[in-house]
Amino acid sequence: MLLEVKDLHAGIDGKEILKGLNLQVRKGEVHAIMGPNGSGKSTLSKVLAGHPSYEVISGEVLYEGKNLLDLEPDERAREGVFMAFQYPVEVPGVSNSQFLRLAYNQKMLHHGLEELDPLEFNDYLKEKAKVVDMDPQFFKRSVNEGFSGGEKKRNEILQMAVLEPKLAILDETDSGLDIDALRIVAEGVNTLRSPDNAIILVTHYQRLLNFIVPDMVHVLANGRIVKEGGKDLALELEEKGYDWVKGAASSK
Amino acid sequence: METQFTEQFKEFLRSETDPVLRRLREVAFAVFAGAGFPTVKDEDWKYTNVAPLVSGQWSVARSVGQSQVVPDRDIDLVKRFETARNGFAALNMAFAAFKVIRIAKDTSVPEPIELLFATDEQVAIFPHILVIAEAGSKAILIESYASTAKSFTNAAVQIIVEDNANLTHYRVQRESSEAFHVGTTEVSLGRGSLYDSTNINLGGALSRHDIDVKFTAEGGEAFVDGLYMVGGTQHADTHSIIDHTVPNCTSHQTYKGVLNDSARGVFNGKVFVRENAHGTDAQQSNKNLLLSNDARVDTKPQLEIFNDDVKCSHGATVGQLEEEELFYLLTRGLPDSLARNLLTYGFAEAIIRKIGIDSIRTSLDEAVLNRLNVKLEV
Ligand SMILES: Nc1ncnc2c1ncn2[C@@H]1O[C@H](COP(=O)(O)OP(=O)(O)O)[C@@H](O)[C@H]1O
Ligand SMILES: [Mg+2]
């Protein structure tokens, strides 16, 4: 088991948002977490990535059998946890390639592997950029600065490609994308999908799942998973709307 | 007031052969002798105590040798300098090493005009530069301060940007962290002119920069931006006045401060929008990052509006890095200290990047990265 979330209760500013969440993810799997706005999807993503503002009230999160919650966010990242942000942050003055090389080398250093010098890294980056069809002119630009919404999301997937995480959590990577950009991002994620990693797709809409077919779909409502199933659950959800599962949440 | 400068001034004045300048210097020195140096009791100096500078021993050049004879037609412009603003301004005029730069009408100067000032331990210098960008001209002025010892630089720069002229001005102060630096910049803007200034303050034990920009005819635009980044026990003070006296002018001001250790920053920015200055657009912001608990900044953006038909905004922040930005970098595996330093660099770089001269910008970027212990190779 790569990730095991057991009866997780977590919140922010004294407000409980996740109210007993369970989730199991194996290597090689893609899990979709769907749910209406405000159901706690981003909260789950941020708790897994280690956002300092969120507090875990009770429950357990095991990553490769170890307590993930013990690790600082940067340690989690170097251990292979990656989160693509719903709203990626701009880092002025630091170019994409400088930033990615710093991040990549921190991971190498952590694993006792050889760091890449700027030239070597550039070759590596060029290769990775193909995954999201990213023009190398973006390497020189400051991280996310002046990027369109779609470019930011593509850049998140480029970072994922470079850092090769074992567990990638993609928070609403599809939001704000037109259909062409969505296709590129989805193809990128499909390329990165492998038996050695797992992907958690957090999304409000079903349409992303037409492009990235999940092994499992979990429906989150009011801080709990209220329905689980195979890829067809997403379609059913699209048809019946979230009210259908909200009913399930309250009858539980 | 008898000061260490009195004897030195007598000797200095002997070599001044131009009667008009001689008179100007004498009057200025009398003003200085009467006023003395400002103290913390003066409202404009309440956060900046110049006592360590005043108690230093400073030797001034013995003759006007360094100074240019100001052409007759420019004397009146020199006289416009506000000698009485404080003791430093008066002392500058008394010992001024004049230099007049005239950018001819309707010409575009391809190469930047570079001025570099540096002096030795315990020596005081008093550069006084008059720049006239004649109508329709275009130029870049680089004013650099680079003393490497405990010196005293007291500089004045007067800038006149005539109608439809365009002047880009980079002021870079990178003196030793033992040096004392006081500078005054007075800018007057003509019709449809553009003045774009970037003021970088990295050096000095104690540095103070006063910059006054005045719109004298409609349609002028000014950028008055700056960065102060100090650590140790450094003290950096910027006082700025942007004066909209006429209609339809635009001013933009972004000053950023990065303060580490027990360093101290002061920002006082006044924007005046006078009664008839309708159609004014004035934006001002001052953002500060405190990197240590002992660092401190006193910021006071002031907007004084005497007219309703204006678009103005101003604000100041003092704080730490944005948590969301920091979290983003951490989730990419960067250790906390590296993530913080990278964001701090980005904060400062947003001002430095304005500098359109590669060599200067790169060297400032490096200086900032060095201070933050970050290696960013490309
Ligand atoms: N800082 C906060 N303080 C209090 N409540 C918050 C805070 N941030 C988010 N919430 C609330 O937590 C709930 C879940 O938010 P979020 O995890 O962002 O949902 P989703 O990503 O599914 O739209 C929402 O009701 C939201 O209003
Ligand atoms: Mg969300």
- Nearest ligand, measured from the Cα of A47: 1
Q: What is the pLDDT of residue A238?
A: 83
Q: How far apart are CA B117 and CA B125, in angstroms?
A: 9
β-bridge mates for residue A82, sequence order:
A168
Cβ within 8 Å, pair A102-B327: no
Q: How far apart are CA B324 and CA A214, in angstroms?
A: 29
Residue B107 reports pLDDT greater than 50: yes
Ligand 1, atom 27: nearest CA belongs to which residue? A38
pLDDT (mean) for A74-88: 97
Q: Is the CB of A38 under 6 A from ligand 1?
A: yes
Q: What is the pLDDT of residue B182?
A: 98
Tokens of B242: 């942007």
**Is the CB of B337 inside 8 Å of chain A's CB atoms?**
no
Residue A50 reports pLDDT greater than 70: yes
Ligand 1, atom 16: nearest CA belongs to which residue? A40
Cβ burial of A119 (10 Å; 0-12, 13-18, 19+) is: exposed
Confidence of residue B2 (pLDDT cuts 50, 70, 90): low
Confidence of residue B28 (pLDDT cuts 50, 70, 90): very high
CA A152 to ligand 1 center in whole angstroms: 22
Identify which of B215, B369, B204, B354 has the alpha carbon closest to the alpha carbon of residue A102.
Answer: B369
What does the domain layout of chain B look like in residue ranges? Answer: 2-320, 322-378
- The CATH superfamily holding the domain A3-251 is P-loop containing nucleotide triphosphate hydrolases (3.40.50.300)
- Contact residues, chain B, for A159 at CB < 8 Å: 332
pLDDT (mean) for A195-212: 93
A87/chain B closest Cα distance in angstroms? 10
Q: What is the pLDDT of residue B250?
A: 98
Residue A68 reports pLDDT greater than 90: yes
CA A9 to ligand 1 center in whole angstroms: 14
- Contact residues, chain B, for A95 at CB < 8 Å: 378
Q: What is the pLDDT of residue A251?
A: 41
- CA atoms A207, A212, A217, A221: torsion sign: negative
**Percentage of chain A surpassing pLDDT 90?**
83
What pLDDT, in 10s, does the model give residues A19-34? 999 999 999 999 999 9
- Is B139 in contact with B167 (CB distance < 8 Å)? yes
The set of residues, in sequence order, having a beta carbon less than 8 Å from that of A58 and lying 6+ positions away, is: A7, A8, A9
Residue B85 reports pLDDT greater than 90: yes
CA A116 to ligand 2 center in whole angstroms: 35
pLDDT (mean) for A137-160: 94
Q: What is the dihedral of CA A72, A75, A77, A83, to 10 degrees?
A: -10
- Nearest ligand, measured from the Cα of A242: 1
Residue A9 reports pLDDT greater than 50: yes
Q: How far apart are CA B239 and CA B312, in angstroms?
A: 19
* Mean pLDDT taken over chain B: 96
A75/chain B closest Cα distance in angstroms? 6
Q: How far apart are CA B316 and CA B301, in angstroms?
A: 7
Tokens of A183: 């296709």
CA B33 to ligand 2 center in whole angstroms: 67
Q: What is the dihedral of CA B371, B239, B29, B119, to 10 degrees?
A: 10
Residue A112 reports pLDDT greater than 80: yes
Q: What is the pLDDT of residue A70?
A: 97
User: How many A-B residue pairs are in contact by the CB < 8 A criterion?
Assistant: 86
DSSP chain A: --EEEEEEEEEETTEEEEEEEEEEE-TT-EEEEE--TTSSHHHHHHHHHT-TTEEEEEEEEEETTEEGGGS-HHHHHHTTEEEE-SSPPPEEEEEHHHHHHHHHHHHHHHTT-PPPPHHHHHHHHHHHHGGGT--THHHHSEETTT--HHHHHHHHHHHHHHH--SEEEEESTTTT--HHHHHHHHHHHHHH--TT-EEEEEES-STHHHHS--SEEEEEETTEEEEEESTHHHHHHHHH-HHHHHHHHHH-
What does the domain layout of chain A look like in residue ranges? Answer: 3-251
B-facing residues of A in 117-136 (CB < 8 A) are 117-118
Of the candidates B332, B352, B377, the beta carbon closest to that of A103 is on B332
- B32-70 b/e (C-beta count within 10 Å ≥ 16 → b): bbebebbeeeeeebebbebeebbeeebebbeebeebeeb
Residue A211 reports pLDDT greater than 70: yes
**Is the CB of B361 inside 8 Å of chain A's CB atoms?**
no
pLDDT (mean) for B2-12: 91
Q: What is the pLDDT of residue A252?
A: 40
CA A252 to ligand 2 center in whole angstroms: 24
- Nearest ligand, measured from the Cα of A53: 1
Identify which of B29, B41, B40 has the alpha carbon closest to the alpha carbon of residue B5.
Answer: B29
Total number of residues shown for chain A: 252
- Contact residues, chain B, for A89 at CB < 8 Å: 324-325, 328-329
Ligand 1, atom 25: nearest CA belongs to which residue? A38
Q: How far apart are CA A251 and CA A243, in angstroms?
A: 12
pTM (predicted TM-score) = 0.92
Biggest alpha carbon distance in chain A? 59
Residue A60 reports pLDDT greater than 60: yes
Q: What is the pLDDT of residue A122?
A: 95
Q: What is the pLDDT of residue B320?
A: 87
What pLDDT, in 10s, does the model give residues B331-366? 999 999 999 999 999 999 999 999 999 999 999 999
Range in A173-177, A186-190, B33-37 with the lowest mean pLDDT: A173-177
**Percentage of chain B surpassing pLDDT 90?**
93
Q: What is the 3-state secondary structure (H, E, C) of chain B?
A: CCCHHHHHHHHHHHCCCCHHHHHHHHHHHHHHHHHCCCCCCCHHHCCCCCHHHHCCCCEECCCHHHCCCCCHHHHHHHHCCCHHHCHHHHHHHHHCEEEEEEECCCCECCCCEEEEECCCCCEEECEEEEEEECCCCEEEEEEEECCCCCCEEEEEEEEEECCCCEEEEEEEECCCCCCEEEEEEEEEECCCCEEEEEEEECCCCEEEEEEEEEECCCCCEEEEEEEEEECCCCEEEEEEEEEECCCCCEEEEEEEEEECCCCEEEEEEEEEECCCCCCEEEEEEEEEEECCCCCEEEEEEEEEECCCCEEEEEEEEEECCCHHHHHHHHCCCCCHHHHHHHHHHHHHHHHHCCCCCHHHHHHHHHHHHHHCCCCCCC
Confidence of residue A249 (pLDDT cuts 50, 70, 90): low
Q: Is the CB of A35 under 6 A from ligand 1?
A: yes
pLDDT (mean) for A232-249: 79
Q: How far apart are CA B152 and CA A222, in angstroms?
A: 66
Q: What is the pLDDT of residue A243?
A: 80
Query: In whole angstroms, what separates CA A159 from the centre of its chain?
Result: 11
Residue A250 reports pLDDT greater than 60: no
Q: What is the pLDDT of residue A213?
A: 95
* Mean pLDDT taken over chain A: 93
Confidence of residue B378 (pLDDT cuts 50, 70, 90): low
